[in-house]
Amino acid sequence: MIQRPRGTRDLLPPDTRLWQAVEGVARDVFGSFGGEEIRTPVFEPTELFVRSVGDSSDIVNKEMYTFPDRKGRSLSLRPEMTAGVARAWIENHLGDQSQPLRLYYIGPMFRYERMQHGRYRQFSQIGLEIIGADTPIADAELLASMHEFFLRLGFTDLEIHLNNLGDPEDRARYQAAIREALEPRRAELCSDCQRRLDENPLRILDCKVPACQVIAAGAPAMDELAGEASRRHVAEVEAQLQLLAIPYVRNRRLVRGLDYYLRTVFEVVSPQLGTNTVLCGGGRYDRLIADLGGPAVPGVGFAIGEDRLVEVLPARFRDAVLARSAVYVVPIGDAARARVLELARGWLRSGVPVELEITGRSLKSALKRADREGFRAVAMLGEDEMRGGTVTVRDLAGGSQSAIATADVPAWWRALPPAGERAGRAES
């Protein structure tokens, strides 16, 4: 039997409903902050990621799906989206539009990673970029949009970790300071970190190997070496977060796995997943577009790991989405079976979500199924009902049953209390 590639997943119903719901909330929230969707290719020239994400990053070093096409051009499946958005911004002259642009995206990313829980080779990100504003309020707005999104999903326990990565000019000083602090312990570092010590010591702070994390804790914090401008910038972002009562913690060891970040960087962690399985990462990237050959245009953005997000969705949101909020329409006898689709089509055109019994089940077996599957209500059509132009409807939450005219089904449906009430009542 042919199996799916390692690290990929089949998303199946009813879980796909959760994905759709999460994506719906993202479109709604980011749209309400003035966001528009952007869709870029799933593969790009390899050079794009080498120049943006950086050739000393883990992503470019060992996680990219890189291949030559039939003409020998080197292409890579996108490991992240910001580089593609920046390329599209330059290539499509988005600078000609009124700035800033708030661009959100939802789609698959690809990284050749070691398989672990919450770590896939094809995974989906939901992200937002604000391009064309270098002010601290832009960072704060971005964080507020993100916070609003998580709130709408019902999260109350997520932690935002925030740090100042300084400006690129401060970076060299910082790299040197880390190298000096950690050089004496070189032999205790993992082989990757020994290489990082030479190439990009900052990366050591991001290493997931426990021994390296202990050693990295002894490195100086970026904040102490950051310049005045970046410190003022991040302080203003923090002041805004405080004003908005958005909780965050200042994490002085937080660095990101991509080279283009500067000043504000942040991550969102869930107590359920732990600090090694981050839900969302982001930050400011004021030099990225210029580094890719475009004008000097600032940007700030984040990417949420949708796979990990769906895994830890609050029960309330999950239950509400998974509750089958449809009317199960059960025909009894041939006369009813002959007319049921026609009747149901009329109801769904009036806004009643219906699901037909089409396998020929008995009424008893259908009612059992309705309960098991958590349908909101059942509509039964028998000989008597067919003759009288009525239908017997049963509210599965409240338990009441009555015969109503088939034309009254939409009004009856609208008068039913929403599906969420059902779970609430069952608890009390």
- Interface residues toward ligand ATP, by CB under 6 A: 80, 111, 113, 118-120, 123, 125, 257, 278-281, 303, 305, 307-308
What dihedral angle (degrees, nearest 10) is formed by the CA atoms of 174, 179, 184, 189? 110
- CB distance 305 to 9 below 8 Å: no
Biggest distance spanned by C-alpha atoms of the chain: 91
- CB distance 165 to 172 below 8 Å: no
Give the residue with the Cβ less far from ligand ATP, 111 or 394. Answer: 111
Give the residue with the Cβ less far from ligand ATP, 105 or 123. Answer: 123
Give the residue with the Cβ less far from ligand ATP, 168 or 257. Answer: 257
d(CA 206, CA 259): 12
Give the residue with the Cβ less far from ligand ATP, 236 or 307. Answer: 307
Positions of E strands within 270-422: 278-284, 299-305, 324-331, 354-356, 375-381, 390-395, 401-405
State the DSSP code for 95: G
For 55, the enclosing helix (H) or strand (E) is: none
CB of 74 to ligand ATP, least distance (A): 21
CB of 106 to ligand ATP, least distance (A): 12
Give the residue with the Cβ less far from ligand ATP, 49 or 347. Answer: 49
- CB distance 128 to 143 below 8 Å: no
Q: Give the tokens for residue 373.
A: 């599957």
Query: Is the four-CA dihedral 208, 211, 217, 219 of positive or negative sign?
Result: negative
CB of 188 to ligand ATP, least distance (A): 22
d(CA 219, CA 189): 13
Give the residue with the Cβ less far from ligand ATP, 89 or 120. Answer: 120
Encoded amino acid at 218, one letter: G
Closest residue to ligand ATP using C-beta atoms: 305
For 123, the enclosing helix (H) or strand (E) is: strand 122-131
CB of 110 to ligand ATP, least distance (A): 9
CB of 65 to ligand ATP, least distance (A): 12
d(CA 97, CA 11): 37
CB of 118 to ligand ATP, least distance (A): 6
Encoded amino acid at 304, one letter: I
DSSP for 357-369, please give it. --S---HHHHHHH
Give the residue with the Cβ less far from ligand ATP, 173 or 208. Answer: 208
State the DSSP code for 309: H
CB of 268 to ligand ATP, least distance (A): 8
CB of 158 to ligand ATP, least distance (A): 12
Give the residue with the Cβ less far from ligand ATP, 211 or 403. Answer: 211
